[in-house]
A and B are shown apart, each in its own frame.
Chain A
Amino acid sequence: MARHGGPGALAAEKHVRSRPLGVLIRSMFGYLGRFRRIIYLGACLSVIATIFMAIDPLVLSWGIDLVLEPGTEMDGIILLALLYTGLKIASWIFGSINTWILSGAQAGFVQSLQQDVYDRLIRADLSYHKGEQSGDVTSRVTSDTDSLAMGIQIIIDLASQVLLVIATFILMWMASPFVAMAALVVIPVVISIVVLFGTVGQRIMLATQRAAGKVSGQIAENLGGVHVAKAFNREKETAAILSELNQESYRHGFNFMMLMTIMQPMVRATGIAVMSLILFVGGGLAIGNDPALTLGQVFLGTILIQRFFHPLLMLSMNATMFQASLASMDRLMDVLETEPTVKDTEGAVPLRPDSDGIEFEGVSFSYMEGAEVLKDVDFRIGPGEMVAVVGHTGAGKSTIAALLNRFYDPQKGNIKIGGQDLRDITLDSLHDNLALIAQEPYLFDGTVMENIRYGRPTATDDEVVAMSKLIGAHEFIDVLPDGYSSIIIEEGKNLSAGQVQMISIARTMLAKPRILILDEATSRLDAYSESLVQDAQDKLFSKRTTVVIAHRLTTIANASKILVFEKGSLVEQGSHDELMELGGRYKALYNTYYSHQSAGEISDEAVKTAQEEMAKVEKMSQGKLGSQKGPMMGHGGQAQHDKN
């Protein structure tokens, strides 16, 4: 299936914060950690730069008043020019040092936060990862940390912006309270801009992002299925569907851009309009016998009003962005404050070299509360034994593999390896000694060589090649365009399903685990390749404990013991012959699920059985059985068994 949207395509969706404002802001500063001092220093520098910046127009206005005084010498003017230049340069230097220091601190802060979040996520419970899209998890590491850094920046800017607004207002007030009062006229403009963007703007922005996300998702899907579109000559149709979404995205994008376009002239035109207003008010105050204002102050007013208006606007716009940062902080705290439940317990020891064999003692497990996947399961696998696990889809087979890897801990009961409880074994040593070939093979982007070596990072090239030869993967790897250096892209879209599975098998076998678990590990291989893999397994793991979740007859036949699962319970166990003798669920399962894999004549028999079952299931589904799970054959098998 194609993946949809980029990470965070809809990240701007409204997020309900679960923590109070104070807690979030406090912890935001808490995470500054070792960067706290340097960031405070930066904030101080920024305030100093702002103070210099606030008074430089004052110097210009003095200059204007000075030149109007009769008998002024150039000396005074030169002094003022020097003062102006000095203030500007000082402000420039302090501002620049601040930028210089903060760039490093901020980048460092982002990095350490990213690392913390990443380390936390990589060790988070698998139940967390199962419940989240990998794209969303990634955006915790990337966009949320960025957004938090932005929040810090906003807080630093806040100090200087507030200072600038207040200082400017005071300067205006000192010149004339009337001018200062007149300047307040910009406040409704600021409010209306902020409201416009907070309501309509927010809506338009979300709609725009959503429309763009749809286009992106459609392109992703079309590219994923490009071979199908080609094979059926339907390129025109896929293009037409995209065109429609693209037009929709254009419409929303246009609205959004017009909104942004209106914002700019509103700000500029307001700036000029208030200049005219201050000129008028100031003019009125500058005349008469006892003028309240000098000409220089009138001019000062027209400049100061801009310095009042712009930071005020920035402050309010930043408030919206700060909200987003808080939401990010909230999500990050969710991650950082969640302790994984599966972790090394205190006093956990490495797996002892003599520990082998597996025991399940009264194990019950559910992924979600109320839906038990395993119910009170008891079994014992001797050291070096090869055991097959069989059962219908949903019987809980893969869960056994997951529990053995300690991806989860059971709610009830104990799992032991050689008498050591899984929870008392360090995770590192467990994973060093036990390896799983999963049902859904997953390969990383990288070369074939790198992917196989993932099983044992210290393995040499020769060892990788030898392993590939052993399981029969070398032949196809060798003829890939770049052999072992061929790059695997998109989890192996340039390989066949069987090839992907072969590489994942080579990877696990290279790890040479003491205990091997195969979860339908060869389901995508052709029979011949499968038999080669089986030979390799016999050779490498014949004396090691092996658990095989079986989908083929051949595996069952090789097992020293077969565990039969049904709906989470272990219903039968024993050797193939014993279980056939028993004539229970295994026999029924065998007849419907495995025996037809054999030669032709048996198949016909199986087909006949299947036909009968089908009729039964159909009858049932006409009644009430509209299950979405589809035609798996739990009931059919049962029926067969009853008949026998």
Chain B
Amino acid sequence: MRRYPGLTLFAVGLALFASLLTILSSWVLGDAVDELKFIVDNGLELTPEFVGLCWLILAFALLLFVTYIVVGFAFAIMTLRWERDARQEFFEVIQNNSMTFHDQVDSKQMLAVAMQDIRWVRFSLNPALRNIIMAIGSLIIASVLLAWIDISQGLFPILGIIVAIGSPLYLFFAYRYAVAIEPVRRVRSEQNEKLTAVSQEVFRGIEVVRAFGAEDLESSKFRKVSKEYERLLTKEGRLAAFYIPNLILTATTAAAFLYCANQVISGVFPVGTLVKAIALLAVVDGFSHILPRFLLVIRGGHVNAQRIVDILDWADPLNDPDSPVKNINWTGDIVLDNVSFRYASGGVDEGPYALRNLSLTIPGGSRVALIGGPGSGKSTILKLLLRLYDPTDGKILIGGSDLGRVRTKDARAAVGLVEQNVFLFRRSVKDNIAFGKVNATMDDVVTAATRAQAIEFINELDEKYDTVIGERGMTLSGGQRQRLAIARTLLQDPKILLLDDSVSAIDARTEFHLRKALDEVMTGRTSITVTQRLRTLLEADMVIIMDKGMVAAVGSHEELLRSSEHYKRIYRRLPGAERYFDRDAVGRDA
């Protein structure tokens, strides 16, 4: 709205004009009744004046129609544009927030804010604000006109006093109702969301529920939530009963009727004035139903706006440096200097360390294998190198430059990641591969797919490169997804490659393909692979064993087999297990 001050003023002015038209038609009705009385009293035919007044009312109706549409048009443009831009901006802001944000906030909640909350704020501007402007405008104009009836005749403004008492009281009680119902409505809609969440979750995990025979448990959980919803729904509904403003309006109308009737009998007012008073109050009555509803929406909109602002105000711990380092030697050594890291938790307490006092040097161009159990900190190292997070303590140097002083954009251009749970977009195979490089050509895509050993299965898909992933049950196996991710990364051509290769249990042919694809993608760059693939361990220049956020041992496969009990223990457990086959003698002596 602030962006279109002229338009806003124009629209509000026009809205008030529309209210005026509605009111004036009632006013003219009174004049017409007076004219009619004159005709009746004098036994005349319908006078041109009377017919003219009828036409005037009709003209008001037409003018009102046009004005209303113009008002609606102006409001629609302003508020819908606001909605569109706010949604876009909201998304862009949260997208730019670092992963710390995305780890903590449920994306369902963010989606709800982006869609619902922003829509409700818009709703509170249009139609709510638009209608309230018109309703209150009508009330004020009607009150002024009623007061004017006495004043214009030089009388003590009794009608003025009646409306001066009635209108504020009316508004006060309408507002009080909105204030009372707003929190109930809010809690009720939150409860409704909860109800949806509870049932959706259970239906999604229905097999688990069924397998543990937990139907009764879930049913009683649901009952609790839905009973609470019932209570709130009842409360909200009952607040609407005994709506006091209607009584005030009745009292005002009765008082105005008594006063005017008395004046008519006394011969002070013509009968038309009585009609005017009643008709004006009838117009106010017409608005009285929408007023509380929209007052409520406006108050609610304030809460929705607060939710949006709260998310937008999130202070990102990861910021681009003011004076970024450029010309970084990405192929240089990677040094972790006393790095500690902990993930921010949603709560007040700070979580435990995921990495503790980690110091490591990875020579440029080397192949590194990273092993360790869940929670040992393997993936955290990869995320830090991608600068998805900054270390809590210590720093990471690449080719001598502090990664914390590198723009995230530059870091992510030079560092590539093939994740464990490969995320593919609901787009075509081609678009998913091309995601690695801006403006990638079809040739680029085919070359990358070939190098990543993905071309064979792509050609077997119904629509080849145009097959949309995730559509009509189109799913890919883990090995296929991984090869698409490798193709994507090959297009990106990063200097440092991070690979979370924890895929297991694949058949020999897939293994063969993957191995070739991995060789291809590792060539000519520093690579750090989280793995349990025996071959990768054997071929690595350096194996790092992680344990509870610390380095347990570092060295080549042979060195570690000799020196590290920890490594021997893990190695012995690797699949294949010499326990059953005597081919590998190395593991046996451990």
Which residues of chain B have C-beta atoms less than 8 A from A306's C-beta?
282, 286
Q: Which residue of B lies closest to A118 (CB)?
A: B222
Residue in B62, B374, B413, B492 whose CB lies within 8 Å of A475: B374
Contact across chains for B111 and A280 when beta carbons are under 8 A apart = no
Contact across chains for B80 and A257 when beta carbons are under 8 A apart = yes
Which residues of chain A have C-beta atoms less than 8 A from B313's C-beta?
none
| Minimum-distance CB pairs A-B, first 9 | A476-B375, A103-B237, A598-B576, A261-B72, A481-B351, A431-B213, A481-B345, A265-B68, A599-B584
Which residues of chain A have C-beta atoms less than 8 A from B5's C-beta?
none
Q: Which residue of B lies closest to A531 (CB)?
A: B573
Which residues of chain A have C-beta atoms less than 8 A from B247's C-beta?
88-89, 92
- In whole angstroms, how far apart are the Cα atoms of A233 and B415 in the complex? 11
Contact across chains for B373 and A78 when beta carbons are under 8 A apart = no
- Whether B17 sits at the interface, judged by CB under 8 Å, is no
Residue in B347, B376, B575 whose CB lies within 8 Å of A482: B347
Contact across chains for B36 and A481 when beta carbons are under 8 A apart = no
Which residues of chain B have C-beta atoms less than 8 A from A524's C-beta?
502, 504
Residue in B240, B373, B477 whose CB lies within 8 Å of A526: B373
Extra contacts, 14 of them, besides A72-B265, A119-B219, A261-B68 (Cβ < 8 A), are A138-B203, A141-B199, A219-B115, A233-B412, A247-B84, A269-B61, A476-B373, A479-B351, A481-B346, A490-B108, A524-B504, A599-B578, A607-B511, A611-B512
- In whole angstroms, how far apart are the Cα atoms of A482 and B345 in the complex? 7
Residue in A215, A232, A303 whose CB lies within 8 Å of B115: A215
B490, chain A: closest CB distance, angstroms: 12
- In whole angstroms, how far apart are the Cα atoms of A457 and B275 in the complex? 73
- Whether B223 sits at the interface, judged by CB under 8 Å, is yes
B203-238 interface bits toward A, Cβ cutoff 8 Å, 1 = contact, 0 = none: 111111111111101110011001101110110111
Residue in A81, A257, A272, A597 whose CB lies within 8 Å of B60: A272
Q: Given A115-B222, A494-B103, verify A553-B88 contact (CB < 8 Å).
A: no
Binds B, one of A157-165, A282-290, A368-376: A282-290
B267, chain A: closest CB distance, angstroms: 10
Q: Given A134-B204, A232-B412, A479-B548, verify A592-B507 contact (CB < 8 Å).
A: yes
Q: Which residue of A lies closest to B249 (CB)?
A: A88
- In whole angstroms, how far apart are the Cα atoms of A95 and B436 in the complex? 65
Question: Which among A74, A110, A122, A527 has the greatest number of chain B C-beta atoms within 10 A?
Answer: A527
Contact across chains for A122 and B219 when beta carbons are under 8 A apart = yes
Which residues of chain A have C-beta atoms less than 8 A from B504's C-beta?
523-527, 551-552
Which residues of chain B have C-beta atoms less than 8 A from A222's C-beta?
91, 95
Contact across chains for B213 and A269 when beta carbons are under 8 A apart = no
- Whether B321 sits at the interface, judged by CB under 8 Å, is no
Residue in B75, B215, B534, B587 whose CB lies within 8 Å of A122: B215
Q: Given A224-B423, A257-B76, A284-B46, verify A239-B200 contact (CB < 8 Å).
A: no
A sample of 20 cross-chain residue pairs with beta-carbon separation below 8 angstroms, ordered by A number, consists of A4-B426, A99-B237, A107-B237, A225-B425, A227-B423, A228-B419, A232-B492, A237-B438, A253-B84, A257-B80, A257-B126, A284-B46, A295-B37, A299-B275, A302-B29, A480-B375, A481-B346, A598-B575, A598-B577, A630-B480
- Whether A181 sits at the interface, judged by CB under 8 Å, is no
Question: Which among A393, A432, A610, A631 has the greatest number of chain B C-beta atoms within 10 A?
Answer: A631
Q: Which residue of B lies closest to A456 (CB)?
A: B212
Q: Which residue of A lies closest to B351 (CB)?
A: A481
Binds B, one of A61-69, A198-206, A319-327: A61-69
Residue in A134, A242, A275, A607 whose CB lies within 8 Å of B29: A275
Question: Which among B258, B548, B584 has the greatest number of chain A C-beta atoms within 10 A?
Answer: B258
Residue in A85, A115, A129, A613 whose CB lies within 8 Å of B254: A85
- Whether A16 sits at the interface, judged by CB under 8 Å, is no
Residue in A92, A287, A482 whose CB lies within 8 Å of B45: A287
Question: Which among A1, A219, A289, A511 has the greatest number of chain B C-beta atoms within 10 A?
Answer: A219
- In whole angstroms, how far apart are the Cα atoms of A1 and B375 in the complex? 24
Q: Given A280-B54, A599-B576, verify A220-B107 contact (CB < 8 Å).
A: yes
A281, chain B: closest CB distance, angstroms: 10
Give A177-229 interface residues, CB cut-off 8 Å to B: 212, 215-216, 219-229
- Whether B535 sits at the interface, judged by CB under 8 Å, is yes
Contact across chains for B409 and A233 when beta carbons are under 8 A apart = yes
Residue in B72, B108, B261 whose CB lies within 8 Å of A67: B261
Q: Which residue of B lies closest to A225 (CB)?
A: B423
A562, chain B: closest CB distance, angstroms: 14
Which residues of chain A have C-beta atoms less than 8 A from B51's C-beta?
280
A576, chain B: closest CB distance, angstroms: 9
- Whether B532 sits at the interface, judged by CB under 8 Å, is yes
Contact across chains for B573 and A610 when beta carbons are under 8 A apart = no
Q: Given A220-B107, A231-B417, verify A631-B457 contact (CB < 8 Å).
A: yes
Q: Given A126-B207, A141-B199, A268-B22, verify A81-B254 contact (CB < 8 Å).
A: yes
- Whether B441 sits at the interface, judged by CB under 8 Å, is no
- In whole angstroms, how far apart are the Cα atoms of A480 and B507 in the complex? 34
B65-106 interface bits toward A, Cβ cutoff 8 Å, 1 = contact, 0 = none: 101110011011100110110011001101110010011001
A388, chain B: closest CB distance, angstroms: 14
- Whether A575 sits at the interface, judged by CB under 8 Å, is no
Q: Given A85-B251, A606-B508, A610-B508, verify A295-B33 contact (CB < 8 Å).
A: yes
Residue in A99, A258, A280, A479 whose CB lies within 8 Å of B375: A479
Contact across chains for A231 and B212 when beta carbons are under 8 A apart = no
Contact across chains for B111 and A220 when beta carbons are under 8 A apart = yes
Contact across chains for B91 and A122 when beta carbons are under 8 A apart = no
Q: Which residue of A lies closest to B240 (CB)?
A: A99
Which residues of chain B have C-beta atoms less than 8 A from A2's C-beta?
426
- Whether A111 sits at the interface, judged by CB under 8 Å, is yes
A409, chain B: closest CB distance, angstroms: 14
Contact across chains for A472 and B84 when beta carbons are under 8 A apart = no
A568, chain B: closest CB distance, angstroms: 20
Binds B, one of A357-365, A436-444, A539-547: A436-444
Binds B, one of A379-387, A414-422, A459-467, A495-503: A495-503
Which residues of chain B have C-beta atoms less than 8 A from A480's C-beta?
351-352, 375
Chain B, interface SS category: helix
Residue in A237, A454, A486 whose CB lies within 8 Å of B208: A454
- Whether A478 sits at the interface, judged by CB under 8 Å, is yes
- In whole angstroms, how far apart are the Cα atoms of A489 and B421 in the complex? 16
- In whole angstroms, how far apart are the Cα atoms of A250 and B82 in the complex? 10
- In whole angstroms, how far apart are the Cα atoms of A507 and B424 in the complex? 30
Q: Given A115-B223, A228-B435, A445-B197, verify A246-B88 contact (CB < 8 Å).
A: yes
Which residues of chain A have C-beta atoms less than 8 A from B577's C-beta?
553-554, 557, 598
Q: Given A287-B46, A613-B509, verify A442-B205 contact (CB < 8 Å).
A: yes
Q: Which residue of B lies closest to A485 (CB)?
A: B347
Residue in B95, B344, B460 whose CB lies within 8 Å of A627: B460
- Whether A315 sits at the interface, judged by CB under 8 Å, is no
- In whole angstroms, how far apart are the Cα atoms of A487 and B85 in the complex? 33
Residue in B29, B197, B215, B388 whose CB lies within 8 Å of A123: B215
A591, chain B: closest CB distance, angstroms: 8
Contact across chains for B65 and A266 when beta carbons are under 8 A apart = yes
Contact across chains for B203 and A603 when beta carbons are under 8 A apart = no
- In whole angstroms, how far apart are the Cα atoms of A481 and B352 in the complex? 6
B141, chain A: closest CB distance, angstroms: 15
- In whole angstroms, how far apart are the Cα atoms of A1 and B102 in the complex? 16
Residue in B40, B76, B515, B575 whose CB lies within 8 Å of A597: B575
Which residues of chain A have C-beta atoms less than 8 A from B102's C-beta?
223, 226-227
Question: Which among B243, B388, B502, B587 has the greatest number of chain A C-beta atoms within 10 A?
Answer: B502
Q: Which residue of B lies closest to A247 (CB)?
A: B84
B308-346 interface bits toward A, Cβ cutoff 8 Å, 1 = contact, 0 = none: 000000000000000000000000000000000011111
Q: Which residue of A lies closest to B229 (CB)?
A: A111
B156-175 interface bits toward A, Cβ cutoff 8 Å, 1 = contact, 0 = none: 00000000000000000000
- In whole angstroms, how far apart are the Cα atoms of A275 and B312 in the complex? 52
Contact across chains for A438 and B208 when beta carbons are under 8 A apart = yes
A617, chain B: closest CB distance, angstroms: 8
Contact across chains for B507 and A633 when beta carbons are under 8 A apart = yes
Contact across chains for A287 and B44 when beta carbons are under 8 A apart = yes
Give A59-93 interface residues, CB cut-off 8 Å to B: 60, 63-64, 66-68, 72, 74, 77-78, 81, 84-85, 88-89, 92
